[in-house]
């Protein structure tokens, strides 16, 4: 599916989800509820799973949270990872609750005996652990050694933690070296990928709110994925965690790293020929398809002059012309609908194609009639606006006059 070689890593299992090796790159997010609120947390977990999340992390920062996990884990539709910071005993409690994995921050749990105690218990229970190095909580000794936060310091932190695990023969490890600075994050993962074959969890920590956080996270994660680095990902956004899951799913589908499950909506940027408010129609279509598991590429085009041709590879599309919407399937005109019914028509046709296939959808209509109507509207639009909407020929004449005059 891709033109680059994916880095080969060891494979571990987080519950039913394989991570590393040749397993599909998985999507993670984290609940923002209090874990002791069992029903509220489960509601968010189910919402994340519906948005495409494969693994969900919940904080385990107090006894009540560990007790909540004991009730959450058996009812969760996806594997649960317990997020541990300062208290190693919370890791032991979370494993007792039945979690499928742990996340430890080596910058916060620094006593080797505590780290090894957790690793020993995880080894016996076959519970994987993510070593979560975070640029914002680096061990002060490493910060001083390297004169600040560097990729080398983050990698050394991860390798030091691995060494503690190796002392107790624990190997069910995945690693992250996250930073809020995108170039630093990229360099840290590149260096780490050269010195270990443990699976890597990618993310830009504290990426921030939309849209900037989405851009930063995508820049870092996609750069590494395109280099074949990374086995599981999380968007760390200041937003509803469901947005993180959706972003992760869309990124992997866009890169061809996961099979498409939802609509891929493409739309023209509009121009002088546009017969409709393309932004409005595209937004309404996006909202209408948001919760529909229809793995088609659907196009919304502003005119019938170039629309069908530019989106001919789309499974289904619609182009506006003369107050009508011209539907096309794989570049072939198949129907004409009133402008007000464009979005509804897309939903009907997408559902039919998903259930019966493209050939069956085309066979049920008179494509010759649809093409005649599209040609009629196309010619009318060309007559009104001309082939040269920007009047380029006239501009070229004037440009040449000015150049000759100089």
Give the count of beta carbons closer than 10 Å to the beta carbon of residue 361. 22
Let me know whether 196 and 308 are in one domain: no
Given a contact cutoff of 8 angstroms between Cβ atoms, the answer to whether 355 and 364 are in contact is no
pLDDT of residue 27: 98
Tell which residue, 39, 106, 95, has the closest CA to residue 70: 95
pLDDT at 371 exceeding the cut of 90:
no
Let me know whether 349 and 224 are in one domain: no
pLDDT at 19 exceeding the cut of 90:
yes
- 136 vs 203, higher pLDDT: 203
Let me know whether 280 and 248 are in one domain: no
288 found inside a domain: yes
Local structure of residue 208 (DSSP, 8 states): B
Quick one: pLDDT band at residue 313, thresholds 50, 70, 90? confident
Q: What is the sign of the dihedral through the CA atoms of 276, 277, 283 and 287? A: negative
Segment holding 81, helix H or strand E: strand 80-84
- Last residue of one domain, picked from the residues 226, 254, 282: 254
Quick one: pLDDT band at residue 321, thresholds 50, 70, 90? confident
Reading the block at residue 379, the tokens are 């010619």
Local structure of residue 73 (DSSP, 8 states): G
pLDDT at 384 exceeding the cut of 50:
yes
pLDDT of residue 142: 92
pLDDT of residue 1: 44
* pLDDT, mean of residues 88-92: 96
Given a contact cutoff of 8 angstroms between Cβ atoms, the answer to whether 204 and 44 are in contact is no
Q: What is the pLDDT of residues 98-118, one digit of tens each?
A: 999 999 987 788 789 999 999
Quick one: pLDDT band at residue 381, thresholds 50, 70, 90? low
Tell which residue, 316, 358, 357, 356, has the closest CA to residue 337: 316
6 found inside a domain: no
- 101 vs 337, higher pLDDT: 101
Give the residues across from 131 on adjacent strands.
104, 175
- Last residue of one domain, picked from the residues 221, 254, 287: 254
CATH number of the domain that 370 lies in? 3.30.413.10
CATH number of the domain that 51 lies in? 3.20.20.20
172 found inside a domain: yes
Q: What is the pLDDT of residues 116-135, one digit of tens each?
A: 999 999 999 999 999 999 88
Domains in the chain, number: 2
Let me know whether 232 and 282 are in one domain: no
275 found inside a domain: yes
What are the C-alpha distances in Å from 3 to residues 20, 75, 251, 255, 311?
Answer: 19, 40, 16, 10, 24
Let me know whether 132 and 227 are in one domain: yes
What are the C-alpha distances in Å from 210 to residues 52, 184, 236, 290?
Answer: 19, 21, 11, 18
405 found inside a domain: no
Look up tokens 């007792």; give the residue: 96
pLDDT of residue 178: 95
Question: Cβ contacts of residue 29 below 8 Å, gap of 6+?
Answer: 48, 53, 56, 57, 234, 235, 241, 242, 244, 245, 248
Let me know whether 165 and 314 are in one domain: no
pLDDT at 255 exceeding the cut of 50:
yes
Given a contact cutoff of 8 angstroms between Cβ atoms, the answer to whether 252 and 51 are in contact is no
Let me know whether 323 and 198 are in one domain: no
pLDDT of residue 336: 87
Given a contact cutoff of 8 angstroms between Cβ atoms, the answer to whether 55 and 17 are in contact is yes
Tell me what the pLDDT averaged over the chain comes to.
Answer: 90
Quick one: pLDDT band at residue 382, thresholds 50, 70, 90? low
pLDDT of residue 396: 74
Q: What is the sign of the dihedral through the CA atoms of 101, 107, 108 and 111? A: positive
Quick one: pLDDT band at residue 333, thresholds 50, 70, 90? confident
| Size (the chain), residues | 406
Let me know whether 287 and 198 are in one domain: no
406 found inside a domain: no
pLDDT of residue 395: 72
pLDDT of residue 325: 86
pLDDT at 174 exceeding the cut of 50:
yes
- Last residue of one domain, picked from the residues 207, 227, 254: 254
Reading the block at residue 139, the tokens are 């061990």
Angle between helices 182-195 and 212-226 (to 10 degrees): 30
Give the count of beta carbons closer than 10 Å to the beta carbon of residue 113. 8
Q: Which residue segment(s) compose the domain that 364 sits in?
A: 264-385
Question: Cβ contacts of residue 221 below 8 Å, gap of 6+?
Answer: 202, 203, 204, 230, 233, 235, 251
404 found inside a domain: no
Q: What is the sign of the dihedral through the CA atoms of 140, 145, 148 and 149? A: negative
Give the count of beta carbons closer than 10 Å to the beta carbon of residue 57. 23
Helix (H, G, I), strand (E, B) or coil at 155: helix
342 found inside a domain: yes
* pLDDT, mean of residues 239-264: 93
Let me know whether 183 and 294 are in one domain: no
Let me know whether 248 and 359 are in one domain: no
d(CA 154, CA 162): 13
Quick one: pLDDT band at residue 269, thresholds 50, 70, 90? confident
Let me know whether 133 and 225 are in one domain: yes
Q: What is the pLDDT of residues 224-248, one digit of tens each?
A: 999 999 999 999 999 999 999 999 9
Q: What is the pLDDT of residues 357-368, one digit of tens each?
A: 999 999 988 888
pLDDT of residue 320: 81
Quick one: pLDDT band at residue 405, thresholds 50, 70, 90? confident
In what order do the strands lie in the sheet containing 332-338?
264-267, 297-301, 316-321, 324-329, 332-338
Local structure of residue 100 (DSSP, 8 states): S
Q: What is the pLDDT of residues 133-149, one digit of tens each?
A: 988 888 889 999 999 99
Let me know whether 22 and 163 are in one domain: yes
């Amino acid at each position: 599916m891709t033109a680059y070689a994916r880095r080969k890593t060891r494979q571990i299992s987080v519950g039913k989800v394989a991570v590393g090796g040749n397993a599909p790159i998985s999507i993670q997010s984290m609940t923002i509820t209090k874990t002791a609120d069992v029903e509220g947390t489960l509601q968010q977990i189910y919402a994340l799973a519906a948005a495409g999340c494969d693994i969900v992390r919940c904080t385990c920062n107090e006894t009540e949270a560990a007790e909540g996990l004991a009730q959450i884990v058996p009812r969760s539709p996806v594997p649960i990872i317990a997020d541990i910071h300062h208290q190693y005993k919370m890791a032991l409690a979370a494993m007792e609750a039945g979690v499928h994995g742990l996340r430890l921050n080596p910058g916060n749990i620094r006593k080797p005996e505590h780290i090894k105690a957790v690793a020993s218990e995880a080894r016996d229970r076959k519970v994987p652990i993510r070593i979560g190095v975070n640029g914002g909580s680096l061990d002060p000794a490493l910060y001083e050694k390297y004169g600040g936060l560097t990729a080398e310091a983050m990698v050394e932190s991860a390798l030091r933690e691995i060494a503690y695990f190796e002392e107790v023969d624990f190997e069910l490890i995945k690693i992250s070296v996250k930073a809020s600075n995108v170039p630093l994050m990229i360099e840290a993962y590149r260096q780490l990928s050269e010195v270990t074959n443990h699976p890597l969890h990618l993310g830009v920590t504290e990426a921030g709110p939309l849209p900037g956080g989405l851009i930063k996270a995508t820049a870092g994660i996609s750069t590494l994925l395109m280099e074949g680095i990374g086995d599981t990902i999380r968007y760390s956004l200041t937003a509803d965690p469901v947005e993180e899951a959706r972003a992760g799913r869309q990124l992997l589908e866009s890169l061809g790293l996961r099979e498409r499950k939802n609509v891929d909506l493409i739309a023209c940027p509009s121009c002088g020929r546009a017969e409709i408010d393309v932004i409005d129609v595209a937004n309404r279509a996006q909202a209408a398809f948001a919760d529909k598991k229809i793995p088609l590429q659907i196009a919304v085009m502003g005119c019938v002059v170039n629309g069908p041709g530019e989106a001919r590879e789309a499974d289904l599309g619609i182009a506006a012309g003369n107050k009508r919407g011209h539907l096309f399937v794989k570049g072939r005109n198949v129907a004409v609908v009133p402008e007000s019914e464009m979005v509804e028509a897309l939903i009907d046709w997408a559902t039919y194609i998903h259930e019966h296939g493209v050939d069956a959808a085309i066979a049920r209509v008179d494509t010759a009639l649809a093409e005649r109507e599209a040609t009629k509207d196309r010619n009318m639009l060309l007559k009104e606006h001309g082939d040269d909407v920007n009047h380029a020929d006239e501009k070229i004449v004037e440009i040449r006059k000015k150049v000759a005059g100089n």
